[in-house]
Structure 1
């Protein structure tokens, strides 16, 4: 049995073509054998002819093929995978990152700490499809992207998407989309990218998200934290290098009103799916801003900030180890000082790109390199340097694993067990690496100043008690509190 979806509620969303539910479930139409996203513009089928399934993989497993009009495989991901911290949600996050293609179901089960049999049972019961079917749906989506956005030969597309053979690729495309790969490619008059002329080695994509999205906060965060050499911000474009499973990559993003324009340059096209997933997690593109804003607006203290900044996002990460090392490196120093230290680390220890891409020259250094040579580069208090080396060593020897499939409670305990890491650092890592939407950094100085400006309770216990009304969106409430204080400082500076 799959996770129960209320038929009447889902049908109302489909009848109103409510795009907020795209990615939360799919509509399977028995009379046509097609599954669609809730906002599909086609004529709404009769209630008795439809069923609702939690994932595209479940629909494919049940014998339905994807609608080529609404492209349900291209819908934003469900915010449920971040809201939930159970086994199924953690497995979905890892499958989207391509773990099954790289390590098989055995590797996925090992990362999650479960047996293959138990993992398959849980995913089939809750999502209507096991790990292989979920990974197959992910490969089919990657294949369609490559077919319709690049001029790669079909055989190259097959292996880049993660298929073991061209025959397996052809069979899957025909089964999922009811046409051959060549027909699927011919259906678009031009690539479904950003409309710009094709450039050799570059893939252009449009990443959808649920509106609204506050671009100002996202752009400030990306620009304010960018490390020279590994990241850049220029003329409204954020760019960064990516350390991917099969090689390096460069991602360039531009925020548009209804989507993110993404340009990727990859050393190995097998990393396309992982790169897209990581950029989506970095920008929090699977969030449900309407649900978040509705919950936070119920608190009169936050309502003005929500009204002024609808759709604020909690920025995530493209690499868990990088976030942890940068967070420890920036403990108890200003943002500018943290950027300077991080930029120095990148220049000294980061692997250089084979060919520089504008201002991008290096990857962020691997934990193994920081553990061995960090003492040559790191400056500042000896205690902080020792903590950075200690954390890098734990990441390098495998005693600390950081990936989106980790259990939050277990990971927090492991982080706190490392000398030099306190609750703020552990909670910040959970918020950014696991995408936990319900973390309030109650001891953060800037956040507490925002609390004071809004007249909220200042005592730690009183604030924690008050913040329960923001659950399960306390991470987003924290962004509003940060922004309140930072905006006030900016106004004061302008006045001065």
Structure 2
């Protein structure tokens, strides 16, 4: 979008927050860069230039605006709607792969050479993977500086910097303030969240509108005891992270999601934030989604009634794949019971002083040793589950945010017991394909019939062609017509 100068100028002059994260405005005369909705007086058109990423702005020598704080805008929704190499690279960088494995590790995951990855990212984003990772480290550092009382040395370590000197230089260069000055400004502005001992509190921004009912309702209604719970108005769950474990509490708010994290290793902060944003689909562009779905006159009333529905995803694709198989042809309660038994037998214990969480969901490697005969399910589904676990454990079925959606579908469909419903629900909620569709789902067919839409799978697929590329969001609107717990915000005191 940043190449469409006229459109960008109109967005800046109207201070349109819908475009925050889509592009950034660099002001030649001041040397700063802003988000489109910056409250400052817009600069003259001849002094504006438009860049596709905060990293590109920083690499060009611009510093972040102190008023609109462009580095904290929601991420570009473009990376959620694409499955090409650049989009997959961006999702991996956001997940901290460059910090953990370097550019060669990123390239290996994508199946390209490091030079090819550099070239593709520079061509589209104006910055290479190292610059993009550096911009992310700076943003994480700012979050910790402004929302925690950690010593600056711990902040530098947690944000992924190799030295205190590099940390200080980057913060001064990107924000035109020292770390100490950033913390003092945040305290004066009241941006610091209430502190709970042993946790970090921060805000996760999103593009409005957001209807949280089905998002939190789905996560809580299908929650696995010991791994997930609803407590004090927050969805809480355990996290398996590269350097340790964590527990997150996510609370819906009118303009942000409150996020409280307890981590065993602060180096996992960036990854934990990225996975929480991914799970709640916070980088979506609801205006674009809803505009397309409103073109169907039978779907439009659902969109108008509760706009901004998101797709509830997962923090661990392998975990969700296992749970999808456990949930085949059984009720939500039965699926939770099956999953809870696996957690008790094979999950890693964790401590949760703030609530009732007890385990991490077991890894595929831990589940590889399970006895199929101990599973109280039909023999065919046992075979499906054990085959899936073996493929996940030996790496022959890689599932993650970097997955090629069509290649992953082909691998899943090749497994015994995998039909269209299981494959598509994994593509939708674990891999993040915004166009995944469930025409054979009973809830979708029931809703379609009630709205006057075709209810047979073939006819519904034909009608849904006009909803592309957002059919996964259409599923959320269709599901929401049913009075099921997955479509309601949990009540206070609801059972965990």
Match of 1:426 among 423, 431, 449: 423
Match of 1:238 among 231, 235, 241: 235
Asked whether 1:207 is paired with 2:204, we answer: yes
Query: 2:180 maps to what in 1?
Result: 182
1:429-464 deviation digits (Å, cap 9, x = unpaired): 111122211111111111111111111112322211
For the residue of structure 1 that corresponds to 2:368, the secondary structure is helix
Query: 1:494 maps to what in 2?
Result: none
1:261-317 deviation digits (Å, cap 9, x = unpaired): 110001011111111111111111111112211211121111111111111111111
Aligned equivalents of 1:206, 1:334: Cα separation in 2? 35
Preserved contact between residue 194 and residue 206 of structure 1 (Cα < 8 Å): no
Query: 1:292 maps to what in 2?
Result: 289
Query: 1:116 maps to what in 2?
Result: 114
Query: 1:408 maps to what in 2?
Result: 405
Cα drift, residue 318 of structure 1: 0.5
Preserved contact between residue 452 and residue 458 of structure 1 (Cα < 8 Å): yes
Change (3 A) 1:107 1:335: same
Query: 2:491 maps to what in 1?
Result: none
Asked whether 1:478 is paired with 2:475, we answer: yes
Cα drift, residue 382 of structure 1: 1.5
Aligned equivalents of 1:380, 1:69: Cα separation in 2? 57
Query: 1:80 maps to what in 2?
Result: 78
Aligned equivalents of 2:431, 2:191: Cα separation in 1? 29
Alignment of 1:41-80 (within 5 A): 41-80=39-78
Query: 1:17 maps to what in 2?
Result: 15
Asked whether 1:38 is paired with 2:36, we answer: yes
Aligned equivalents of 1:65, 1:276: Cα separation in 2? 23
Cα drift, residue 375 of structure 1: 2.9
1:211-235 deviation digits (Å, cap 9, x = unpaired): 1111221221121111110000134
Cα drift, residue 64 of structure 1: 0.8
Preserved contact between residue 350 and residue 360 of structure 2 (Cα < 8 Å): yes
Change (3 A) 1:371 1:488: closer
1:96-152 deviation digits (Å, cap 9, x = unpaired): 000011111111111111111101100000111011111111111001111111111
Preserved contact between residue 149 and residue 191 of structure 1 (Cα < 8 Å): no
Asked whether 1:440 is paired with 2:425, we answer: no
Query: 2:137 maps to what in 1?
Result: 139
Aligned equivalents of 2:417, 2:237: Cα separation in 1? 29
For the residue of structure 2 that corresponds to 1:10, the secondary structure is helix
Preserved contact between residue 456 and residue 463 of structure 1 (Cα < 8 Å): yes
Query: 2:274 maps to what in 1?
Result: 277
Aligned equivalents of 2:245, 2:110: Cα separation in 1? 26
Aligned equivalents of 2:373, 2:170: Cα separation in 1? 51
For the residue of structure 2 that corresponds to 1:211, the secondary structure is coil
Aligned equivalents of 2:376, 2:271: Cα separation in 1? 34
Preserved contact between residue 23 and residue 37 of structure 1 (Cα < 8 Å): yes
Query: 1:247 maps to what in 2?
Result: 244
Asked whether 1:373 is paired with 2:370, we answer: yes
Aligned equivalents of 2:487, 2:417: Cα separation in 1? 32
Aligned equivalents of 2:338, 2:50: Cα separation in 1? 51
Aligned equivalents of 1:436, 1:474: Cα separation in 2? 9
Note the residue ranges of structure 1 that are not aligned, 5 or more in a row: 492-496
Aligned equivalents of 2:156, 2:107: Cα separation in 1? 25
Aligned equivalents of 2:69, 2:283: Cα separation in 1? 17
Aligned equivalents of 1:23, 1:289: Cα separation in 2? 13
| TM-score between both structures, scaled by the size of structure 2 | 0.95
Preserved contact between residue 351 and residue 357 of structure 2 (Cα < 8 Å): no
Match of 1:350 among 340, 347, 350: 347
Preserved contact between residue 241 and residue 251 of structure 1 (Cα < 8 Å): yes
Asked whether 1:462 is paired with 2:459, we answer: yes
Note the residue ranges of structure 2 that are not aligned, 5 or more in a row: 489-496
For the residue of structure 2 that corresponds to 1:353, the secondary structure is coil
Which has the higher mean CA deviation after the structures are superposed, 126-135 or 454-463? 454-463
Match of 2:309 among 309, 312, 316: 312
For the residue of structure 2 that corresponds to 1:249, the secondary structure is strand
Cα drift, residue 374 of structure 1: 5.0
Greater RCO (Cα-Cα under 8 Å, separation 6 or more): 2
Asked whether 1:257 is paired with 2:254, we answer: yes
Preserved contact between residue 192 and residue 205 of structure 1 (Cα < 8 Å): no
Match of 2:361 among 340, 351, 364: 364
For the residue of structure 2 that corresponds to 1:362, the secondary structure is coil
Preserved contact between residue 148 and residue 192 of structure 1 (Cα < 8 Å): no
For the residue of structure 2 that corresponds to 1:373, the secondary structure is coil
Cα drift, residue 4 of structure 1: 5.3
The aligned length equals 488
For the residue of structure 2 that corresponds to 1:28, the secondary structure is strand
Preserved contact between residue 146 and residue 157 of structure 1 (Cα < 8 Å): yes
1:353-396 deviation digits (Å, cap 9, x = unpaired): 04554110111001111111253653211211221121111111
Change (3 A) 1:367 1:374: farther
Query: 2:150 maps to what in 1?
Result: 152
Match of 1:267 among 257, 264, 268: 264
